Amino acid sequence: MTHNALLLKTIMTFIIAALLVLSIILWKQTPDLFEYFNQAFCAH
Amino acid sequence: MTKTGNQFSQPLIYMLIGSAIILALSLGVRHGFGLYLVPMSHEFGWGQHVFSLAIAMQNLIWGVVQPFTGAIADKYGSKIVVAIGGLLYTLGLLLMAFSSSILILNLSLGLIIGLALSATSFTVLLSAVGRAAPPEKRSMAMGIASAAGSFGQFIMLPSTLLLLKTVGWSAALMVSALLIALIIPLALMLKGSSNQTPKAIAQPQLTFKQVLNIARKHKPFWWLALGFLVCGFQVVFLGVHLPGYLIDHGFDAATGTVFLALVGLFNVVGTYGAGWLGDRFSKPKLLMALYGSRGIAIIAFLLLPLSTYTVYAFGVIMGLLWLSTVPLTNGIVANMFGVKYLSMLSGIVFFTHQVGSFFGGWLGGVNHDLTGNYNAIWLCSIALSILGVIVHFFVNEEAVIHDA
């Protein structure tokens, strides 16, 4: 693997890991998300 | 950096990054539309059927126009189609942000965004990736792009809700429009039309009509399309009606939210893994295993005592099996007919997916209204899993038209 490829792979890994952590934080801050979905699609 | 061993070439990496971000944005924003139903319906005093009709229209238009958008992308290039799609998507969201009448809602959320989705989602983008990737790495490349689309859905759903609660539905739509506008410059990262691929020189010069005629007579193509109908039915039934099923059985909102998050997270793992497996094993056999596993998971979920743990386990398993059908199904179409008319042919298969989606969403509600439970539709989902296994037994990915 060339230096450039390794660098790109490392950057991509960091970006994906950061986005994953951000997503989990967002999900933890929206416990009522399910309620929205339920009201939207299954009002019973 | 050159293509060596199991590495992707630099142009392919460049294109994969572009396709991945476009899919994440397009599908991510689309995944959050359901969240606008309650605030918009409350503000304008609409019954829930008003917003639901616009969403249903969007899905129908997306499915019906997909083969035609695909054919345009095959002829004039993914770049221009995706750029126009991004522009339409942006305009549709802006119009929706200012809509106060049912007509404008149907025009924006239904018609314009439905058209835009056909140009900025899986069919056109995966075909562009499929054209750029060498056959032995095609499934993996499609898996990476699909996983990005799944990741977009995972991250955009809570983001949309937070935005909606912070700035209100209209401003949230304007922020979404700004994000979607990024698709227009990102489209420049895509390659041109199928005629501009290096392989095109070696491809047999079959016309659009000839390829369509070959596909029409090729039974495994239609078995594959039927299999994708099963996928659409099951995913939309579970996505739309499982929250209601859990509420019926006394679960709280927090359990339901964790379920949705688990499906979203493991969907990313599943689509990536399916792409990786698709380059190593028979794709029709993988799809047989996938549909069979869905059926087994549903049976186990219904038979085991319902608890928080079984709900979470079901979320993980269904997440892994959620959109993992996408890279495999599109990969089979590419192997059968080559990549020259891949967008159009994948669009036909996607149309059947949308038909399944329509019935999965609609019949779930009909079943609940008539009986107060989902028993019949659960049985239908299990039967369709068996059908999914059977039809893929008759699918082979042997080339009918060779790329080179």
B129 is written with which tokens?
């990736």
Contacts of A27 in chain B (CB under 8 A): 158, 257, 261
What is the rounded distance in angstroms from the CA atom of residue B350 to the CA atom of residue B146? 14
User: What is the CATH architecture of B204-399?
Assistant: Up-down Bundle (1.20)
Nearest-CB residue to A19 (from B7, B51, B155): B155
The reported pLDDT for the residue numbered B98 is 94
The span from the CA of A1 to the CA of B1, in Å, is 8
Instruction: Check residue B116 and give its pLDDT.
Output: 97
| B49 CB burial (10 A radius; 0-12, 13-18, 19+) | exposed
Q: Residue-wise pLDDT tens for chain B (404 aa)?
A: 334 455 678 788 889 999 999 999 999 999 888 888 888 888 998 877 788 788 888 988 999 999 999 999 999 999 999 999 999 999 999 999 999 899 999 999 999 999 999 999 999 999 999 888 988 889 999 999 999 988 888 898 889 989 988 999 999 999 999 999 999 999 999 875 555 554 544 455 778 888 888 999 999 999 999 999 999 999 988 887 887 788 788 887 778 788 888 988 999 999 999 999 999 999 999 999 999 999 999 999 999 999 999 999 999 999 999 999 999 999 999 999 988 889 999 999 999 999 998 888 888 878 888 888 889 999 999 999 999 999 999 998 888 876 65
* Option in A8, A34, A40 nearest B38 (CB): A40
Nearest to B345 by CA among B218, B220, B231, B215: B215
Is the CB of residue B23 less than 8 Å from the CB of residue B125? yes
Q: Where are the domains of chain B?
A: 1-201, 204-399
The CATH H-level superfamily of B1-201 is: MFS general substrate transporter like domains (1.20.1250.20)
The C-alpha atoms of residue B309 and residue B306 are separated, in whole angstroms, by: 8
User: Looking at residue B397, what is its pLDDT?
Assistant: 86
Give chain B positions within 8 Å (CB) of A8.
1, 13
What lies within 8 Å, CB to CB, of B105 at 6+ separation is B40, B50, B51, B54, B96, B99
Our CA-based measurement puts residue B319 at a distance from the nearest CA of chain A, in whole angstroms, of 16
* Interchain CB contact of B1 with A (< 8 Å): yes
Which residues does B218 contact at the CB level (< 8 Å), separation at least 6?
Answer: B336, B400
Per-residue exposure over B292-325, b if at least 16 CB sit within 10 Å of its own CB, e if not: bbbbebbeebbeeebeeeebebbbbbbbbbbbbb
Which tens digits make up the pLDDT trace of A10-34? 888 899 899 999 989 988 888 877 7
Chain B hits for A16, Cβ within 8 Å: 151
- The beta-carbon neighbor of B254 closest among A4, A31, A36 is A31
CA nearest neighbour of B363 among B241, B268, B275, B230: B241
Chain B positions touching A22 (Cβ under 8 A) are: 155
Mutate to test the interface with B, among A34, A35, A39 (most CBs of B within 10 A): A34
Which one-letter DSSP state was computed for residue B106? Answer: I
Q: Considering only the beta carbons, identify the residue of B1, B244, B254 that sits closest to A42.
A: B244
**Which of B236, B257, B259, B371 is the best substitution to test chain A (most A C-beta atoms within 10 A)?**
B257
Neighbours of B42 (CB within 10 A): 10
Name the closest residue on chain B to residue A3, using Cα atoms: B1
Asked, colleague to colleague, whether B1-201 and B204-399 share their fold, the answer is yes
- How confident is residue A38, by pLDDT bands cut at 50, 70 and 90? low
Could you tell me if B97 and B174 are in contact, meaning their C-beta atoms sit under 8 angstroms apart?
yes
Tokens 């193509």 found at: B221
The residue length of chain B stands at: 404
**For position B290, what pLDDT does the model report?**
97
pTM: 0.87
Contacts of A40 in chain B (CB under 8 A): 34-35, 37-38, 48, 51
